[in-house]
Structure 1
Amino acid sequence: MTNSEISGAKSIQFTRRGVLAAFAATATVASPTFSNAAGILRGAGDVRRIRMHSGRTGETIDTVYWIEGEYIREALTDINYFMRDWRRDEATNMDTRTIDIMAAAHNLLDVNEPYLMLSGYRSPATNAMLRSRSRGVARNSLHMQGKAADLRLNSRSVGQMFNAAKACAAGGVGRYSSSNFVHMDCGQVRTWGR
């Protein structure tokens, strides 16, 4: 692992402008009210970084995965492994659009705390098992395609996280207040939950 360390059209199309706007807003002034989220990236956001911790595996990742318009292959490999299905120890290539949404929302929240990742990639077998235990698990979950993550922050509310991800206008955002997490994906731009 070279660049990081891991330790113990609107509906289906990705709205790139939304994520770029989020990076631009945080490069200038981080705003908890998201009032700057509509700005367009102009010479800012040359570096994208993701910080996460997994309570399931005890692993933490803090890596720069994008510099000046280029994704860093080694960093993406580390992220893919970190976001693996820990139950089956299976990884997939996570969609970089989802990683961008996660990073942009994190920047809008103006916090140094890493995300607590509850779920990243899920194998079909894991998804089926979770679906048998809960009505809240989708049969064709984007988790199985490496396009979704369920995340939590101790220092920010579910509502704050939801609003930050929603401000990116780049995918699906689900609010799960009773379970204290937010779902972010790079599918259709849509929102749900309370």
Structure 2
Amino acid sequence: MKKYFATILVVEDDKNDQLLMDMAFRAVGVKGPIHIVNDGSEAIAYMMGEGKFADRKTYAYPTFIITDLKMPKIDGFGVLEFLKGNPEWAIIPTVVFSSSADLDDIKKSYMLGASSYHVKPDNYEGLCQQLEALHTYWLTCQVPEVDSTGKQLPTQSRGKLGERFTQPCHEPEASTEEHPTRV
């Protein structure tokens, strides 16, 4: 695995938040492409390479996704369900960036596979700080290698997982010893 951080996909319906996030990413030194879509249905079209997103040289698979929760058509929960339901995209770091601090929203986001959950700050400086921290964090993470379109490359290695689980799991043999009942 190598360090790789190329394309960011932002899923955000509010035009002002779109502009502020793009400005903040640029202000903190993000140089790679940032693609912004208006809702979950556009995010799915982007991932599927449908319509205007068919050109993978222009719209490479994202290596990092930020999604709002409360959006028309398909909301952030729908985006998480879609991504995490597809093995090729399930490992893409997906961060929820929402104005909601509701504990049920936070819990549901994590249950659906969010990598992290952040409440949107109420000022530009706070936004820059949060986005810089996210970007810096993901830059230091090891991620799978990808091709020129951002699609993850399959590995030929069985790695440690293959070494650890060479035999199928089986039920332990029944014991004739009596075990005390635990209360």
TM-score, reference length from structure 1: 0.26
Higher strand share: 1
TM-score, reference length from structure 2: 0.27
Which has the higher Rg, Structure 1 or Structure 2? 2
